[in-house]
Amino acid sequence: MGNVGSALPYLLQASVMTLRLAIVCIVLATVIGVGVGFLGALVGRAAEATILAVIYILRGIPILAQLFLVYFGLPFFGIFVNSYGVAIIAISLNMGALVAEIFRGALLSLPRAQMDAGLAIGLRPRQVLWKVLLPQALVAAMPAYVSMMPVTIKATALASVIGIWELTLASKEIAAQTLDTFRTFGYALLLYFMLCYPFTLIGRYLERRSTAFHSS
């Protein structure tokens, strides 16, 4: 039975890997999500319906199943990527749908009066969208957007299932060696907590500030 404490540096390295994976996914998810979320407002009814359908599918299937779907699906269509790519694509798509929901929701939550006010001062609908609505929607979406980040970090744990080396897999390796699953997984939980908690706190701070802003 080896010493769990000496494995901490190993776990820390794995945490960095988790973080890197998460950051890539967050960036991609943001790009996809903001684009799609706002796109829904610009395009016509039919396209909006398809977008909503895609979001529904992406959010209605568990991430684990989506992971396998992408894992087996890409080769099916002749696209070959390594496991790392599969994980990034699957997680980014899923989180992208979440981000799209967040931004769409933020946009729709703006009072109708904002559009009316913009039109009343002579702007065209598209200009009102860009200059008045989107900026406000971005601000309104901030708290929810920030709280998406710990969700992504937690999702990277699933990548271990298709063999990606990150914190969860690393902790399984150590646990198999030292046989002290209790302490190993305990440390891993602690590390995940330390990765996620700052984002949660920031999100909560933003939420408090935004309600103070709106309730006046």
Task: Give the interface with other proteins as residue ranges (CB under 8 A).
Answer: 56-57, 60-66, 68-69, 72-73, 75-78, 150, 153-158, 160-161, 167-168, 171-172, 175, 179-182, 184-186, 188-189, 192-193, 196-197, 200
Q: Which residues of 118-153 are buried (b: 16+ CB within 10 A; e: fewer)?
A: beeeebeeeebbeebbbebbeebbbbbbbbbbbbbb
Q: How far is the CB of 129 from other proteins (least distance, A)?
A: 28
| Residue number with CB closer to other proteins (41 or 59) | 59
| Residue number with CB closer to other proteins (92 or 171) | 171
| Residue number with CB closer to other proteins (75 or 125) | 75
SS (H, E, C) 35-68: HHHHHHHHCCHHHHHHHHHHHHHHHHCCHHHHHH
| Residue number with CB closer to other proteins (141 or 174) | 174
Q: How far is the CB of 181 from other proteins (least distance, A)?
A: 4
50, 125 Cβ separation under 8 angstroms: no
| Residue number with CB closer to other proteins (66 or 92) | 66
Q: How far is the CB of 124 from other proteins (least distance, A)?
A: 36
CA angle 95, 71, 29 (to 5 degrees): 15
177, 6 Cβ separation under 8 angstroms: no
Q: How far is the CB of 157 from other proteins (least distance, A)?
A: 4
**Which has the closest alpha carbon to 109: 211, 33, 208?**
211
Specify the amino acid at residue 55.
Answer: I
Q: How far is the CB of 96 from other proteins (least distance, A)?
A: 17
